[in-house]
Amino acid sequence: MLYEQFQARKPDWPVELLWRSSDPVGFEIEHLENGRGRLWCREDSIEELRAKALTDPKGQMRADEILAAHVTYLREVERLRTEIGLDQANAIAAACGEQFQELFHKLISRRAVIIDGMRAKALALLGAFGTETFRQTAETTRKSSYPLSSI
* Domain shared by 61 and 105, yes or no: no
- How far apart are alpha carbons 11 and 118 in whole angstroms? 50
* Assessment of whether the complete model's pTM goes beyond 0.75: no
Nearest one of 78, 85, 58 to 10, comparing CA atoms: 78
- How far apart are alpha carbons 101 and 104 in whole angstroms? 5
The strand pairing partners of 28, in sequence order, are 40
In a domain, 45, yes or no: yes
Domain boundary residue among 36, 65, 86?
86
62-112 residue pLDDT tens: 999 999 999 999 999 999 999 999 989 888 988 988 888 888 788 778 888
In a domain, 151, yes or no: no
* Domain shared by 74 and 100, yes or no: no
2-19 residue pLDDT tens: 889 989 999 999 999 999
* Domain shared by 78 and 8, yes or no: yes
- How far apart are alpha carbons 109 and 13 in whole angstroms? 49
In a domain, 27, yes or no: yes
Given this model, what pLDDT does residue 44 score? 94
